Each structure stands twice: as structure tokens, then as C-alpha cells.
Amino acid sequence: MAGRRRAVWAGLSLVFALLVGCGGGPAPDAARTDVQHVLDRRAEAVLERDESAYRGTQAPMSDIRDGLATGMAEFANLRSLPLASWSYRLTGFHRSGDRATASAELRYRIRGYDKAPVTAARALTLTRDDGAWYVASDEPAQKATEQLWEQGAVRVVKGERSLVLGVGQQAATLRGYAALADRAVPAVTEAWGDDWAGRVVVLVPRSLDEMAGLLGAPAAGYRGIAAVTTGEAGGSPNAPADRIIVNPDAYGVLGGFGRQVVLTHETTHVATRADTTAATPLWLSEGYADWVGYRETGRSAVQVAPELQRAVLEGRAPSRLPDDADFGFGSNATRLAQAYESGWLACRMIADHWGEVRLNEFYRAVGAHEKRSGAVEDALRDVLATTPDDFTAQWRTYLRAQLG
């Protein structure tokens, strides 16, 4: 009997082991799968502009939380956005009874502009009622940036070479941005070449604070900055389109000339993105963008570089090209202005002495370097046949000749 019992237990143990092996451990909570299905229906509703279907995924809660739209208010705000795709992917899930929290990756593309999806990290809360899950809140994850449609209803203006998305802005104002962007695109192509998308996306939030929300950074650091461009440094041709984000407070005090220079400058960053890498110093990327911005304006060095001229006349001419730290938005305003003017004059000098073709070749050669160390030195040698010391000395002579 004892031998038979051992055989039976051995057989049962084998069966149990096989069952556990086939099951791969405890069965996963079906709630996560159900929530993913809810998010899939929510995404389809956004793409189809189906308010009823979207409402069917939403818990009956407030549509405004901490100043940002959520729920049906958010759905209404983004209805005019020309979307090519919109999807969610759960990246984390925790359930406690009829409530759950989740992290998700929102991926969307703007039709005609994004070759790959923009990715945004989201934090979700969900509730279950009568066996069905609903989204109670859908907000930026911690340290993630806000999305434009969370700040208000998005107004869309399409230019010939631009798409302008604004919140709290009149249509006429946005058409003005589109006209400037449409002029910037061919100006940049003439200087840089046509190996870029040849179109731009411009975001115009309501205020500096909203601009900072889109950037995920303190507003104080951008107070005097008219616009910035966000994108993937060294990005592939299939990366999402860069966004030019305007600070309406600073941009609004500029005249027509200044506004055009700013948008041409930022459009240059869009065009050069694939060749701008961690090896590219800011004096070159910012100086080149300013060079394109002022290239056909006829403005003299004295007109464009007043802070640097003051330093030259007072015997305080810089002894070196600016470091990246000199371009910090929170730094001294005079120091920041001199950094931009120094980079611009360095690029202008290359164009004057070696030619515009060589300037472009130099820019690309620096960006093609694997790392920052040696990038400028190698490009100076290979493209311009000079050394860092000789280039710096020539640049300082150029400053005195142009500004003295």
C-alpha cells in the first residue's frame, strides 16, 4: 500500500508540475487588459471625433483639474487638431478594488508633419462601475510636459509651408505667424539646402507660463526668450516634426523685423536638426541659426551685435568663443546677448572668409563627430584648414574690425 501511495503522489505531483508549467504562474489580472481595451476605444473616439464614444470611456468627474483640461473638455479642445494617429499603451498598472492607477504612453501624429509619433507620458486614474472600467483622469506624468490642448481649445491655421496651433489666440494673430513661417522656410532652404522637411509646426500658447508648461521647465528661465524649438538632436528623417514654441509675452513686444528673424532662426533649427548632435557646441548651432536669420536683411554687425560692440569699445572684447554655459536662459542678460552675438559673428566670419558652402560643410562635419571632444578641432582642420588657436585669433580680429 505504501508503495502504491508513493506512486499516486508522484503521479499527482507530476500532473501539478505540468499544470503550473503550462500556466506560467498566477493568471494575470484581467483588469489590465480591460483597461487597455478602454484606452483603445478612447483613442478611436479621438480619431473619429466621436463625442458619444469618448464619453462612454469617461467617468463623470470634473473636466478641469489644477488648471488643465481633462475629460470631455480636453476632447473638445483637440477636435480641430489634424491627427493622423492617436494611441495609448499601458506601461504600468495598479488595482485596488474598484479603483486603479496606471501609467501610459500616449503616441500621436499630426497629419502631414509627423513621420513618427510624438510620445507623451501620462498618469491615469480609473474607476470600475457595474463591471466596466472608466477613465477618471488623464494627466501628464510626473516631470512630463503638458500638451497644448490641455491648456484650452486649439485653433488651427494652415499656411503654405506651416501649421500654426494656438490657444487663447485670435485667428488673425495665428495667420500672422503662418505668414512669417511661410517666408522663413524658403529663406532657410536657400541657405542650408533642401535636405529637410521644408515645413514647420508652430505652437502659440496663451502666455509665458503656458509656454513653460509645454517645455516642462520654470517660466523664469524663458522670460526674455521669444521662442524655442524642441526636437530630437541628431534625429533621423523619420523622427516627429520639431515644434517651434512661441513665448507670446516676449514675441509680442517685437516689431515685424524682429518677429521674422526669430521665426527664421527657429526654422533653421528645424532644418539642421539631423546634423545637430551632442558634438555641436551652442556657439555654432545658435550662431548659425542667427546667421541664417539675418542673412538677407542687410543689417550690419554694429546693428546686430550692440552688446558685443560695447564690450569691444570698452576694451572688454572676449578672448574665446562662448561656452555652452554662456547660453543659459537664466544667466545674465548681457552675457547671454554677447554669447549669441559672438556665435553669429563666428559663423558670419566663416561665410565671409571661406564661403557659405564651407560654412555648411563645417556645420555638418562637427555634427557628424562621435563626441564633443575633438569635433570642432577636426572640422576646423579638415574643412577650413586651420587650427582652434588661429581660428580664435582670426575671430577676435574680425570682431575689432566689424565693431571697433
Give tens-digit pLDDT for 365-398.
999 998 999 999 999 999 999 999 999 999 999 9
Rounded average pLDDT over 323-340: 87
Q: What percent of the chain shows pLDDT beyond 90?
A: 83
Average pLDDT over residues 180-189: 98
Residues 356 and 339: their CA atoms lie apart, in Å, by 22
Res. 16 pLDDT band, cuts 50 70 90: very low
Residue 25's pLDDT band, with cuts at 50, 70 and 90, is very low
Choosing among 3.30.70.100, 3.20.20.80, 3.10.110.10, 3.10.450.50, the CATH entry for 30-148 is 3.10.450.50
Looking at the chain, the number of H-run helices and the number of E-run strands are 15, 11
Q: Which fold is adopted by the domain 153-275? A: Zincin-like (3.30.2010)
In sign, the C-alpha dihedral spanning 387, 392, 393, 398 is: positive
Q: How many residues does the chain have?
A: 404
C-alpha to C-alpha distances, 62 to 45, 149, 230, nearest whole angstrom: 20, 16, 31
Domain assignments of the chain as residue spans, ordered by start: 30-148, 153-275, 277-404
Strands (E), 148-294: 154-158, 162-167, 200-204, 227-230, 243-246
User: What pLDDT band is residue 237 in, cutting at 50, 70 and 90?
Assistant: low
pTM, 2 dp: 0.89
Mean pLDDT of 3-21: 36
